Structure 1
Amino acid sequence: MNHVSKLASSFVLVSALALVPLHVHAAGELTQPSASASAAAAPAAPASLPELPKLQPIVLQEPDAAALQELDRVLERLTTGDARAKETARTAVAEVTPAVVPAVRARVQELRAGLDRKEAQGLLDDARKAGRKSLRDKEKAEKAEKGGKEKDKAGKDEKAAAKDDKASKDAKAPKKSKADKEKDKDAEDEGDWLEFVLASPKPKSDTWRDLVRLLAMERMLTAAGTTPAVRELLQMYSYFGELLRVDLQRQIGKLRDRAVPALIEGRQHDAKIVQRFASKQLDLLGRAIPGEAVGVTDPQVLADILRAYGRTRDVDAVRVILSFSNSDRIQLREAAREAIAAIGEPGIWQLRDAYLNQTGNKAPREFTWDRIARELFGMYDRARLAEVYKLMDEGAAHAAASRWVEATSAFDKVLARSPVFERRKEMAPAYVAHAKTLEEKEPAAALEMLRKALRLDPKGEGARKIEAEIAYLEGVTLIARGTPDKFPLTKAIELDPSNERAKRALASLEQERIAPQKSSLHRYVAASGVGLVALIAMIFLARRKPDAGRDAEGSRAGSNPPTPPAPDAPVAGAE
Structure 2
Amino acid sequence: MAPRTIMKQTLTFSALLALVLLGSPVNAAGDVTAPAGPASVTLPSLPRLEPIVPPETDPIALRELDRVLEQLTAPDARSRQGARAALQDLPDNALGAIRLRIQDIRASLDRKAAPIVLGNARAQGRKKLRSAATEDKKGDKSAQKESADLAEDWLEFMLATALPDDATWRDVVKLLAMNRMLGTIGTTPAVREIIAMHAYFGELLRLDLQRLVLRLRDKAVPALIEARKHDAEIVRRWAGRQLENLGRAIPGEAVSTNDTQLLADVLRAYGRTRDVDALRVVLSFCNSERERLREAAREAITAIGEPGIWQLREAYLSMTGNKPPREWGWDRLARELFTAHDRKRLAEVHEFMARGVELSKQEKYDGATASFDNVLSRAPLVDRRSDMEAAFIKQGHALRKSEAPPEQTIAMFIKASALTHRPQQDEQWKSLEAEISYLEGALLAENGTPDRFSFKRALELSPNHTLAHSALTTPGAAVSKADTKTPRNIAIGAISLVPLTLTLVLAEHQRRLRRRQRLMSSALEGSVASEGE
Structure 1-normalised TM-score? 0.57
Q: Deviations over 1:197-226 (max 9, x none)?
A: 111111111111111101100111011111
2:133 counterpart residue number? 139
Distance 2:417 2:258 in 1: 40
Contact 1:187 1:246 in 2 (8 A): no
The structure-2 alpha-carbon separation of the partners of 1:186 and 1:123, relative to structure 1 and needing over 3 Å to count, comes to: farther
Q: Which residue of 2 aligns with 1:66?
A: 60
Please say if residues 267 and 282 of structure 2, whose CA atoms lie closer than 8 Å, have aligned partners that are also in contact.
yes
Correspondences of 1:303-314 after superposition (within 5 Å): 303-314=264-275
> Hey, what's the Cα distance between the residues in 1 that align with 2:257 and 2:42?
37
**Aligned partners of 2:52 and 2:244: how far apart in 1?**
25
What is the deviation of 1:136?
1.1
Q: Aligned to 1:54, which of 44, 48, 51?
A: 48
Distance across 1 between alignment mates of 2:124 and 2:89: 28
The match for 2:188 is 227
Residue 218 of structure 2 is aligned to residue 257 of structure 1: yes
Matched, 1:200 2:161: yes
- Counterpart residue identity of residue 108, structure 1: I
User: 1:414 deviation in Å?
Assistant: 5.1
Q: CA deviation at 1:392?
A: 5.0
Counterpart-to-counterpart distance in 1, 2:260 and 2:418: 31
Distance (Å, rounded) in 2 between the aligned partners of 1:130 and 1:59: 41
- Identify the residue that residue 243 of structure 1 maps to in structure 2: 204
CA spacing shift, 1:88–1:410, aligned 2, 3 Å: same
Structure 2 CA distance for aligned equivalents of residues 473 and 95 of structure 1? 43
Q: Which amino acid in structure 2 is aligned with residue 72 of structure 1?
A: D
Whether the 8 Å CA contact 2:289–2:378 is kept in 1: the answer is no
The AA in structure 2 aligned to 1:364 is P
Give the one of 100, 108, 111 matched to 1:114. Answer: 108
| Residue 277 (structure 2) pairs with residue 279 (structure 1) | no
* 1:331 partnered with 2:325: no
Distance in 2 between the 1:61 and 1:72 partners? 17
1:374 aligns with one of 322, 331, 335: 335
Identity rate, percent: 53
**Matched AA of 2:49:** L
Q: Matched residues in 1 for 2:314 and 2:339: separation?
A: 16
For residues 133 and 472 of structure 1, the distance between their equivalents in structure 2, rounded to whole angstroms, comes to 72
Preserved contact between residue 93 and residue 220 of structure 1 (Cα < 8 Å): yes
Q: 1:45 to 1:419 in 2, by over 3 A?
A: farther
- Rounded Cα–Cα distance in structure 2 between residues aligned with 1:191 and 1:471: 58
Are the equivalent residues in 2 in contact too, given 1:123–1:208 (CA < 8 A)?
yes
In 2, distance between residues paired with 1:430 and 1:124? 67
Bigger radius of gyration among the two: 1
Q: Any stretches of 5+ residues in structure 1 without a counterpart? A: 1-39, 144-158, 171-180, 398-402, 433-447, 455-466, 478-575
Q: CA RMSD in A?
A: 4.2
* Amino acid paired to 1:376: L
Note if 1:268 corresponds to 2:229: yes
Change over 3 Å in CA distance of 1:94–1:453 after alignment to 2: closer
Give the whole-Å Cα distance in 1 for the aligned partners of 2:161 and 2:417.
67
Give the Cα–Cα distance (whole angstroms) in 2 for the partners of residues 325 and 372 of structure 1.
Answer: 13
Contact 2:75 2:164 in 1 (8 A): no
Equivalent position of 1:42 in the other structure: 38
Matching residue of 1:541: none
- Paired residues for 1:123-202 under 5 Å: 123-140=117-134, 162=138, 185-189=145-149, 190-202=151-163
Q: Size of the alignment, in residue pairs? A: 380
Give the Cα separation in 2 of the matches to 1:450 and 1:196. Answer: 56
The corresponding residue for 1:388 is 349
Say if 1:122 and 1:411 are closer, same or farther in 2 by CA, change over 3 A.
same
Deviation, 1:416, is 5.5
Q: CA deviation at 1:411?
A: 11
> Is the CA contact (8 Å cut-off) linking 2:352 and 2:375 kept in structure 1?
no
Q: Contact between 2:124 and 2:157, CA under 8 Å: does it hold in 1?
A: yes
How has the CA–CA distance of structure 1 residues 117 and 451 changed in structure 2, closer, same or farther, with 3 Å as cutoff?
same
Q: In the alignment, which residue of structure 1 is the partner of 2:511?
A: none
Shift in alpha-carbon separation, 1:381–1:294, aligned structure 2, 3 A? same
Tell me, yes or no, if the aligned pair for 2:182 and 2:193 is still in contact at 8 Å: yes
Q: Determine the C-alpha separation between the residues in 2 that align with 1:286 and 1:451.
A: 43
The Cα of 1:390 is off from its aligned counterpart by: 2.3
The equivalent of 1:214 in structure 2 is 175
Letter in 2 for 1:277: W
Displacement after TM superposition at 1:333 (Å): 2.0
Please list the CA deviations of residues 72-102 of structure 1 after superposition, one character each: whole Å capped at 9, or x if unmatched. 1111111115343323221221343552211
Partner of 1:299: 260
Q: 2 CA distance for matches of 1:428 and 1:77? A: 54
- Cα separation, 2, equivalents of 1:199 and 1:429: 64
Q: How has the CA–CA distance of structure 1 residues 194 and 325 changed in structure 2, closer, same or farther, with 3 Å as cutoff?
A: same
| Partners of 1:339 and 1:307 in 2: CA distance | 5
Runs of 5+ consecutive residues of structure 2 not aligned to the other structure: 1-35, 390-414, 431-533
- Are 1:101 and 2:86 matched, yes or no? no
Is the Cα contact below 8 Å between 2:317 and 2:324 reproduced in 1?
Answer: yes
Is the aligned partner of 1:421 residue 2:375?
Answer: no
**Secondary structure of residue in 2 paired with 1:198:** helix
Contact 1:382 1:389 in 2 (8 A): no
Query: 1:429: how far off?
Result: 9.5
Quote the residue 1:364 is aligned against.
325
Q: Deviations over 1:425-452 (max 9, x none)?
A: 4x489899xxxxxxxxxxxxxxx99995
Question: What is the CA–CA distance in structure 1 between the aligned matches of 2:92 and 2:238, rounded to whole Å?
Answer: 24
Aligned 8 A contact 2:61 2:97 in 1: yes
Asked whether the equivalents of residues 222 and 265 of structure 2 are also in contact (C-alpha less than 8 Å), the reply is: yes
- C-alpha distance after superposition, 1:368-424 (max 9, x if no partner): 323322333333344445431225568999xxxxx9x99xx9899557623673983
The separation in 2 between residues aligned to 1:296 and 1:420, in whole angstroms, is: 21
